[in-house]
Structure 1
Amino acid sequence: MGTIRIGIAGGAGYTGGELLRILINHPQSEVCWVHSNSNAGKPISDVHADLFGDTDLKFTDSISQDIDVLFLCVGHGDAKKFLDNHEIAASIKIIDLSQDFRLNLNAKHRSRSFIYGLPELNREAIKKAHNIANPGCFATGIQIGLLPLAAAGLLNSEVHINATTGSTGAGQSLSPTSHFSWRNNNLSVYKAFEHQHLNEIGQSLNQLQNNFDQAMNFIPQRGDFTRGILAAMYTECALTLDEAYDLYENYFKDHPFTHVSKRNIDLKQVVNTNKALIHIEKHGNKLFIISIIDNLLKGASGHAVQNMNLMFGIGETVGLRLKGVGF
């Protein structure tokens, strides 16, 4: 595969900026244009200041058809609007980072059909896909913690989930709960039991265990840190701890970014990387699972590039061997 020519819609936000940071250093990609109505004509480094000296690209309010793949980094509901308002050649592949096409009942737009882009679930389908619906950030972290159990038909009781995300998960638009003075040294619950990512999680678990009908009791939290998601889950399970480790390690053995740790894990191990780490423990009849990802990378833009690599038949890890922050 030669150079992959790329267009990005919605390049001024967090996911668009993170995507640019990856792609301008990706050895087999060329970013041809970055669309933003509100920033047209401005250098990209005016918005993403850390890219000063790395690129001379400017935002544009027009698009070109001379690309191989289009990334949609727009808000939820805006991906469909963008495709309605811009004629995109049928030959151009699309990777959508919004939630517009994630559910099977919404996975078609005109003549395009979207595949749910979780490699740990649908890798072979992604390789053949023309259009990808990138998973949500909470959904990615939680699914990675539960997929091995579903694949073995072992999700037979309620699942309890507590997950905390960094402030970048709320996007760049200001709201009362995203101001520094509110978020700093603070912690809060939101959308308890009702988070929108529950639908795609349930869809994936049913794909592997078609009789799965258990309650998923999900309590999302806003953390006072910038990036990362830690999801802590438990459910009843008859497996011994050794059997559970064997199950998880076998399920993920061919997935280069997902790793099972027998030591406890913390967010600094994955922040600024495309990795997902899992740690499991047994407490009585309950299996306790911790899953951690960077919400902007494995939870969004890194995941999208991983899907691009699979779609274009190049190494899955190309451009994504990123260094964690450590300290």
Structure 2
Amino acid sequence: MIRVGIAGAAGYTAGELIRVLIAHPHVELRYLQSESHRGEPVGRVHRDLIYTNLRFSDLDMMDIDVLFLCMGHGMSAQFLERHRVPASVRIIDLSHDFRLRSRAGDFVYGLPEQNRKLIQGAWHVANPGCFATAIELGLLPLAKSGLLPDRVSVFGITGATGAGQKPTEETHYSHRAQNLSVYKVFSHQHLAEIRETLSGQDECLPTDIAFVPMRGCHARGIMVNAVFTSERDLSELQHIYAACYEEHPFTVVSDEPVYLKQVVNTNYCFIHIEQQGRNVLVTSVIDNLLKGASGQAVQNMNLMFGLEETTGLNLKASYF
């Protein structure tokens, strides 16, 4: 069994991680650390888990095999500075602290569709961001084929859980309900990791990505629409995408339009391509808390421990 500890276990991503790992056949949840809820039943915070006997606790890092860091951005690096993690313990970080090459150290960027072999041999993995995952998977086949155009316009909409559990003015029900708004236009924090992923080992990405993020009035799920021009016809583009993801179980290229209900509550990314003349639209949809966070973290854990990639992640979409 893989003995698991979770630091920062009271947030949204940790709640989803616990939900998935409870049913994982090769996992034993040892420690669920939360400074603000130490000793309390986990179900008091994660109300969908009231059926469990789990409690928040301190961490004993000598008694685990893998540590998930589910803390806020900037806090993972501080945690690792304050705590000595044994060399025998693998680490999967869900913050943005180690995603960029300039501060990654020995952390491998945890996008399996790009770095599966590196992840299999890694001890430390930096889980990608949610918008980054959706955009990268939507454009990665073009980048690998050298067909990424000079300019891509990207419009993405995310659910309220993407902003985390701490209430803000923008996540308040009266603001979010029956409302749409743009934010961080052309300057979203995930752009840096997107450019690094799509550029491969080059220093910079020659493609100009104009990204407009939007806040949706739904709880969870991301839809990304990437628009660009191409001289390739639709059948060739579909073949490129299908070949790129043929061996990756959680990324599916669909001939039909895709939508959020197909992927919410799953670790899947569904992709659809449309074309009119030279104009191309690539749509990708994911659950921001699963393929965009905790599900992908479990996928990475499976790879790191030599398990089948899909273990514990055969989740059905909340379709109805």
Range of TM-score over shorter length = over 0.9
2:298 maps to 1:282: no
Amino acid at match of 1:305: V
Q: CA deviation at 1:212?
A: 3.4
Name 1:9's counterpart in structure 2.
7
Name 2:19's counterpart in structure 1.
21
CA distance in 1, matches of 2:306, 2:249: 15
Which residue of the other structure, out of 242, 247, 256, is the alignment partner of 1:254? Answer: 247
Which residue of the other structure, out of 185, 188, 195, is the alignment partner of 1:195? Answer: 188
Contact kept, 8 Å, 1:9 with 1:73, in 2: the verdict is: yes
Corresponding residue SS for 1:59: coil
Runs of 4+ that moved beyond 2 A: 61-64, 208-212
Q: CA deviation at 1:80?
A: 0.6
2:76 maps to 1:83: no
Q: CA deviation at 1:105?
A: 0.4
Amino acid at match of 2:115: N
Q: Map residues 237-316 of structure 1 onto 2, 5 A cutoff.
A: 237-316=230-309
Q: Map residues 44-123 of structure 1 onto 2, 5 A cutoff.
A: 44-53=42-51, 55-108=52-105, 113-123=106-116
CA distance in 2, matches of 1:210, 1:199: 12
Contact kept, 8 Å, 1:249 with 1:260, in 2: the verdict is: yes
Q: What is the identity percentage for the equivalent residue pairs of Structure 1 and Structure 2?
A: 52
Contact kept, 8 Å, 2:31 with 2:58, in 1: the verdict is: no
Q: CA deviation at 1:181?
A: 1.1
- Greater shift after overlay, 288-297 or 55-64? 55-64
Q: Give structure 1 stretches of 5+ with no counterpart.
A: none
Q: CA deviation at 1:210?
A: 7.0
Which residue of the other structure, out of 153, 163, 181, is the alignment partner of 2:156? Answer: 163
Amino acid at match of 2:7: A
Contact kept, 8 Å, 2:61 with 2:89, in 1: the verdict is: no
Corresponding residue SS for 1:315: coil
Q: CA deviation at 1:64?
A: 3.5
Amino acid at match of 1:186: N
Q: CA deviation at 1:317?
A: 0.2
Contact kept, 8 Å, 2:152 with 2:207, in 1: the verdict is: yes
Corresponding residue SS for 1:186: coil
CA RMSD after TM alignment: 1.1
Contact kept, 8 Å, 2:8 with 2:14, in 1: the verdict is: yes
Corresponding residue SS for 1:33: strand
CA distance in 1, matches of 2:60, 2:288: 28
2:35 maps to 1:42: no
Amino acid at match of 2:14: G
Name 2:170's counterpart in structure 1.
177
Q: 1:210 to 1:105 in 2, by over 3 A?
A: closer
Which residue of the other structure, out of 215, 219, 223, is the alignment partner of 1:226? Answer: 219
Corresponding residue SS for 1:181: helix
Q: CA deviation at 1:290?
A: 0.2
Contact kept, 8 Å, 2:5 with 2:59, in 1: the verdict is: no
Amino acid at match of 1:83: L
Per-residue deviation, residues 259-293 of structure 1 (Å, max 9, x unmatched):
00010111000000000000001122122100000
TM (norm. structure 1) is 0.96
Q: How many residues are matched?
A: 320
Contact kept, 8 Å, 2:195 with 2:204, in 1: the verdict is: no
Contact kept, 8 Å, 1:150 with 1:209, in 2: the verdict is: no
CA distance in 2, matches of 1:204, 1:30: 33
CA distance in 1, matches of 2:296, 2:144: 22
Name 2:139's counterpart in structure 1.
146
